[in-house]
């Protein structure tokens, strides 16, 4: 009998569905919002802070809660008590991004659910994400489906790698994980930039997102800039576009002068270590080499926009003098 699954991590929820175990999912976190078919599953968590303020206000609230050793998220024990589950999917990489492993473990102790199996994820590289997919497929009793879906992801990645090998240009790239304070995309992002045919600046593969000062940012001189604030939809990120010239070396970066600035959906892509990481790689390839990957500019036209120096928006699939 296949296990009933409680997923407390959006990327894990996507993996569950990706390997065909959607019907086994009996509960989810408040952040698990994809695919839409799982939105009828009971929600067992909530955030203790509002996401309405700007980036700086959110950052200050989080730092204050961490300093006071308070959990950023609340796990509803009453809701958990009502559910029957055999497997819990969680993480121990980031206490800001999702429920912490310690909170989950304590909740199961409080509920005396010692028989429940916990699979915790800690991805920092692309290979970790692939391994997590295999682990979840195995834990869900979906090994065969997991192997097939993993092969499909690797095939998509290989196609991009093959095309990139034919391209001589290697633009220097900066990706922004958070606007204020400014954090660069770490963990798997530098690796993805290289796979997409670029040179990552300011961050190292496998390392957490670094926070850089304005002076340090000015020294980077990217040819391409990708903005994808963690947890922010495209519409949510638009609310802070007017702050970009203040937060970034806007008038000193070649990417800005050339109109090679992209704003992407940071909630759906890039920051989730799930199957849509390959969608993210396809988006990145189109940002770095738009003339070589026009199919991706069309496929993701609703999830990415291009910005010029005056913050004017252009569709991702619009023609542009890339050279």
Q: What share of the chain is helix, strand, coil (3-state, %, to 5)?
A: 40, 15, 45
Q: What distance in Å separates the CA atoms of residue 302 and residue 17, rounded to the nearest whole number? A: 23
- Domain count for the chain, please give it: 2
Of all residues in the chain, what percent carry a pLDDT higher than 70?
Answer: 94
181 and 111 inside one domain: no
At 47 the pLDDT is 79
Using the predicted structure, report yes or no on whether residue 322 has a pLDDT greater than 70.
no
Task: Record the tokens describing residue 223, joined without a space.
Answer: 């040819």
14 and 138 inside one domain: yes
E strand or H helix at 46: strand 45-47
155 lies in some domain: no
320 lies in some domain: no
185 lies in some domain: yes
Which of these three, 117, 149, 181, is where a domain ends?
149
Average pLDDT over every residue of 176-199:
97
110 and 216 inside one domain: no
Question: Residue 51 — pLDDT band, cuts 50, 70, 90?
Answer: low
**Adjacent-strand bridge partners of 305:** 263, 315
CA separation (Å) from 160 to 58, 140, 165? 36, 30, 9
* Cβ-based neighbour number of residue 319 at 10 Å: 10
Please state whether beta strands 25-28 and 172-178 pair in parallel, antiparallel, or not at all (unpaired).
unpaired
List the CATH number of the domain containing 113. 3.40.50.1980
Average pLDDT over every residue of 139-158:
97
205 and 99 inside one domain: no
82 lies in some domain: yes
89 and 40 inside one domain: yes
Q: In which domain, by residue range, is 206 found?
A: 169-315
Q: Is the four-CA dihedral 219, 221, 222, 225 of positive or negative sign?
A: positive
226 contact partners, CB below 8 Å, separation of at least 6:
173, 174, 175, 176, 185, 261, 262, 264, 284, 287
At 52 the pLDDT is 63
Q: Is 47 helix (H, G, I), strand (E, B) or coil?
A: strand
Using the predicted structure, report yes or no on whether residue 18 has a pLDDT greater than 80.
yes
Using the predicted structure, report yes or no on whether residue 219 has a pLDDT greater than 90.
yes
At 177 the pLDDT is 96
| Chain position carrying tokens 């396809």 | 282
154 lies in some domain: no
Which of these three, 97, 116, 149, is where a domain ends?
149
At 60 the pLDDT is 81
At 316 the pLDDT is 97
Omega of the bond prior to 30 within 30 degrees of 0, cis? no
113 and 182 inside one domain: no
138 and 188 inside one domain: no
159 lies in some domain: no
Taking only the tens place, the pLDDT of each residue in 97-108 is 667 788 888 889
221 and 278 inside one domain: yes
260 lies in some domain: yes
Taking only the tens place, the pLDDT of each residue in 296-320 is 999 999 999 999 999 999 999 998 7
261 and 224 inside one domain: yes
Question: Residue 69 — pLDDT band, cuts 50, 70, 90?
Answer: low
Q: Are 230 and 97 in contact (CB under 8 A)?
A: yes
Instruction: Kindly tell me the burial class for residue 198, based on how many C-beta atoms sit within 10 Å of its own C-beta (0-12, 13-18, 19 or more).
Output: buried
| Residue-averaged pLDDT of the chain | 93
At 96 the pLDDT is 65
Using the predicted structure, report yes or no on whether residue 76 has a pLDDT greater than 70.
yes
Question: Residue 65 — pLDDT band, cuts 50, 70, 90?
Answer: low
Omega of the bond prior to 177 within 30 degrees of 0, cis? no
Range with the lowest mean pLDDT among 40-44, 57-61, 187-191, 314-318? Answer: 57-61
At 95 the pLDDT is 63
Using the predicted structure, report yes or no on whether residue 62 has a pLDDT greater than 90.
no
At 105 the pLDDT is 87
- DSSP state string for 59-100: HHHHHHHHHTT--SEEE-HHHHHT---SEEEEESS-TTTS--
228 and 287 inside one domain: yes
Q: Of residues 93 and 236, which shows the higher confidence score?
A: 236
Which of these three, 116, 149, 182, is where a domain ends?
149
Q: What distance in Å separates the CA atoms of residue 62 and residue 28, rounded to the nearest whole number? A: 22
Task: Record the tokens describing residue 114, joined without a space.
Answer: 């010692």
Q: Which residues of 201-240 are buried (b: 16+ CB within 10 A; e: fewer)?
A: bbbebbeebeebeeeebeebebbbbbbbbbbbebeebeeb
Taking only the tens place, the pLDDT of each residue in 244-298 is 999 999 999 999 999 999 999 999 999 999 999 999 999 999 999 999 999 999 9
Average pLDDT over every residue of 85-92:
93
Q: Is 124 helix (H, G, I), strand (E, B) or coil?
A: coil
CA separation (Å) from 291 to 73, 257, 271, 278, 321? 43, 19, 25, 19, 9
186 and 127 inside one domain: no
229 and 106 inside one domain: no
Using the predicted structure, report yes or no on whether residue 190 has a pLDDT greater than 70.
yes
321 lies in some domain: no
């Amino acid at each position: 009998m296949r296990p009933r699954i409680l997923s407390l991590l959006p990327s894990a929820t996507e993996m569950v569905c990706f390997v065909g175990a959607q019907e086994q999912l009996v509960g989810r976190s408040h952040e698990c919002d994809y695919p839409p078919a799982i939105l009828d599953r009971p929600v067992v968590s909530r955030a203790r802070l509002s996401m309405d303020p700007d980036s700086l206000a959110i950052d200050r609230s989080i730092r204050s809660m961490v300093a006071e050793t308070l959990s950023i998220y609340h796990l509803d024990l009453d809701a958990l008590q009502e559910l029957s589950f055999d497997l819990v999917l969680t993480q121990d990489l980031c206490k800001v991004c999702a429920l912490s492993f310690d909170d989950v473990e304590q909740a199961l102790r409080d509920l005396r659910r010692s028989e429940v199996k916990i699979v915790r994820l800690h991805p920092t590289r692309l290979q970790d994400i692939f391994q997590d997919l295999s682990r979840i497929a195995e834990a869900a009793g979906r090994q065969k489906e997991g192997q097939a879906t993993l092969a499909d992801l690797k095939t998509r990645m290989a196609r991009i790698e093959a095309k990139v090998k034919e391209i001589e240009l290697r633009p220097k790239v900066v990706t922004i994980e958070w606007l204020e304070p400014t954090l660069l995309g770490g963990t798997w992002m530098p690796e993805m930039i290289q796979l997409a045919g670029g040179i990552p600046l300011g961050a190292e593969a496998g390392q957490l997102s670094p926070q850089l000062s304005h002076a340090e940012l000015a020294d980077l001189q990217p040819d391409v800039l990708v903005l994808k604030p963690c947890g922010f939809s495209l519409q949510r990120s638009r609310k802070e576009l007017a702050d970009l010239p203040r937060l970034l070396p806007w008038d000193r970066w070649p990417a800005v002068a050339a109109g090679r600035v992209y704003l992407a959906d940071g909630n759906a892509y890039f920051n989730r270590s799930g199957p849509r990481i390959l969608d993210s790689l396809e988006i990145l390839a189109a940002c770095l080499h738009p003339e070589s990957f026009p199919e991706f500019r069309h496929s993701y036209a609703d999830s990415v926009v291009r910005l010029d120096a005056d913050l004017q928006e252009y569709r991702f699939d619009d023609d542009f003098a890339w050279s």
